[in-house]
A = this chain, B = another copy of it.
């Protein structure tokens, strides 16, 4: 177990992030450019996120399936915007089975093209609609700069792909899934979000509309946490997806796609971590409670072990994810340190005196007041403390968002401050590309367009504003 201390989170957030990811054993650098290994602790977090989201996906009427990893290059070229957007990032298989391939295959950067090719086969009548499919998969995008979880060459995600009879249904679908994502992220990951839609520049390659949700991290930079797209009709035409409508006419379906990735793990780290390491939101913590027996001598050992084992069993049976750290080659202090680094929300300490008194000490990752609780009350106390930690980190995250959130009508005014101190700025925008490019001078971008109009004029050119936007630097 590493005893290295972490870089300063205030002054060196970026280095702190990388180090905490590695030291807490969420992930490790892989010997492949831009790739990570998601280690068991990180993967357990991903599995918990998956199980919550997968339930939501199924409850909203979607079915999981599995489509090929490899896509003929010509498929990507069928939709002009799509291929333009993804071409620079493709990994290409040119040889297989000892021979050069007649047509190169690309590793899916996303699966619209192969899934739409199948949709064309499966959809023939309005009765086949809506078709609502989801896939949990790995994708590869050859990114220039990579960071663990936030941007890696290969990443894990789910990608939903749906086809609908009407434009309205497709729109409802895209919003429905964004809402499911927001529920997951706000209520389980305890990360408050800003929702909106992407500008033409920032939207998905081939979408009419990209809905997005953005989190503002501890350092005031934005992190896009998931997107939901209403696709251009050109996909249906490019892949020949048509159906006989209710009136017997040939029609083209309206398509959506939406996804979230292992980036969510990075968001949890960046949102809640502190100088001691990770802080795991209780509802998705792989280990919610760690029990640390404190042996003073061999005489007490068996007695203490009996007590902690029975507590472990009781909590486990109540569905709590608990770990009993009964190893003897480390001091309690070293264990505290290690489990704080991993961000376990609640810690139980049981020493000889506690056993004698029938008590347990309840502590938590936030350092709130320790309590001495009767063993008979332990389940209630643990559930209560997990709830308190969830509430506290939610409040803290909301306060941070408030702290980083500003309003300003003039880029000249807020641009230099944003460039130096980060933060999210609500302002007005005319919708013009020329003005959008100005944000780049401050290393910022339009994170999203909001549905409201509170600024009458564009913060750059002073022309009429189309809608409010959020401007921020982004990961």
- A62's closest neighbor in chain B, by CB? B40
Indicate if the CB atoms of B32 and A154 lie closer than 8 Å. Answer: no
Structural contact, A107 and B133, CB atoms closer than 8 A: no
CB of A297 closer than 8 Å to a CB of B: no
Q: Tell me, yes or no, whether A244 is within 8 Å of chain B by CB.
A: no
Task: Please choose the segment from A113-121, A302-310, A333-341, A463-471 that sits at the chain B interface, where 4 or more of its residues have CB less than 8 A away.
Answer: A113-121
A237 to B65, CA, bound (A): 40
Q: Smallest CB–CB gap between A340 and chain B, Å?
A: 21
A94 and B97 contact, CB distance less than 8 A? no
Q: Which 9 A-B pairs have the closest CB atoms?
A: A97-B142, A40-B63, A38-B66, A91-B96, A35-B68, A92-B95, A96-B142, A94-B94, A32-B68
The answer to whether A140 touches B70 (Cβ under 8 A) is: yes
Q: Report yes or no: B93 in contact with A92, Cβ–Cβ below 8 A.
A: yes
Residues of B within 8 A of A367 (CB): none
CB distance from A265 to the nearest CB of B (A): 11
A: contact size bracket: 35 or more
Instruction: Check if A299 is an interface residue, CB within 8 A of chain B.
Output: no
Interface residues as binary, A116-138 with B (CB distance below 8 Å gives 1, 0 otherwise): 01100110000100000100011
Q: With A38-B65, A64-B43 as known contacts, state yes or no: A91 contacts B89, CB within 8 Å.
A: no
Looking at the assembled complex, report how far the CB atom of A355 sits from the nearest CB atom of chain B, in whole angstroms. Answer: 27
Instruction: Give the contacts of A135-171 with B (CB-CB under 8 A).
Output: 137-138, 140, 142, 144, 153-154, 156
List 6 other contacts, CB 8 Å, given A32-B68, A69-B138, A70-B91. A32-B72, A40-B133, A43-B64, A69-B154, A88-B97, A88-B98
**8 Å CB contact of A32 from B40, B63, B70:** B70
User: Which single residue of chain B is at the shortest CB-CB distance from A139?
Assistant: B69
Least CB distance, A315 to chain B, in whole angstroms: 17
Contact B92 A35, beta carbon cutoff 8 Å: no
Is the beta-carbon distance between B70 and A105 smaller than 8 angstroms? no
Instruction: Kindly provide the distance from the CB of A142 to the nearest chain B CB, expressed in whole angstroms.
Output: 3
A64 touching B47 by the CB < 8 A rule? yes
Contact residues of A: prevailing secondary structure: mixed
Q: Are B31 and A117 in contact (CB under 8 A)?
A: yes
Evaluate whether A68 and B156 lie within 8 angstroms (CB atoms) in the complex, with A40-B63, A94-B95, A95-B94 already known.
no
Give A89's nearest chain B residue, CB to CB. B97
A30 contacts B118, C-beta separation under 8 Å: yes
Q: How far is the CA of A78 from the CA of B114 in the complex (A)?
A: 35
Bound-complex Cα distance A34 to B67 (A): 12
Question: Which B residues lie within 8 Å of A39 (CB)?
Answer: 65
- Whether a CB of chain B sits under 8 angstroms from the CB of A90 is yes
Asked if A354 is an interface residue, CB under 8 A from chain B, the answer is no
Evaluate whether A70 and B40 lie within 8 angstroms (CB atoms) in the complex, with A30-B118, A93-B91, A117-B31 already known.
no
Per the bound structure, the CA–CA distance linking A144 and B144 in Å amounts to: 36
**Is there contact, CB below 8 Å, between A66 and B114?**
no
Interface string of A53-78 (1 = CB under 8 A from B): 00000000001111111111001000
On whether the beta carbons of A118 and B37 are closer than 8 Å, the reply is yes
Is A87 part of the contact surface with B, judged by Cβ < 8 Å? yes
Q: How far is the CA of A329 from the CA of B395 in the complex (A)?
A: 53
Q: Which residues of B contact A91 (CB under 8 A)?
A: 70, 93, 95-97, 105
Contacts A96-B90, A96-B92, A138-B138 hold; do A154 and B68 have CB atoms under 8 A apart? yes
Residues of B within 8 A of A47 (CB): 64
Contacts of A388 in B (CB 8 A): none
Please give me the residue from chain B that is nearest to A286 by CB atom: B63
Q: Are A32 and B97 in contact (CB under 8 A)?
A: no
CA distance in complex: A127, B330 (Å): 12
On chain B, the residues within 8 Å of A114 by CB distance are: 30-32
Produce 1/0 per residue, A24-44, CB < 8 A to B: 000010111001111110011
Q: List 24 A-B contacts (CB under 8 A).
A: A28-B118, A30-B68, A31-B117, A32-B71, A32-B105, A37-B67, A37-B118, A38-B65, A40-B64, A40-B133, A43-B64, A47-B64, A69-B107, A69-B138, A69-B140, A70-B140, A70-B153, A88-B98, A90-B98, A91-B96, A92-B95, A92-B96, A95-B104, A138-B138
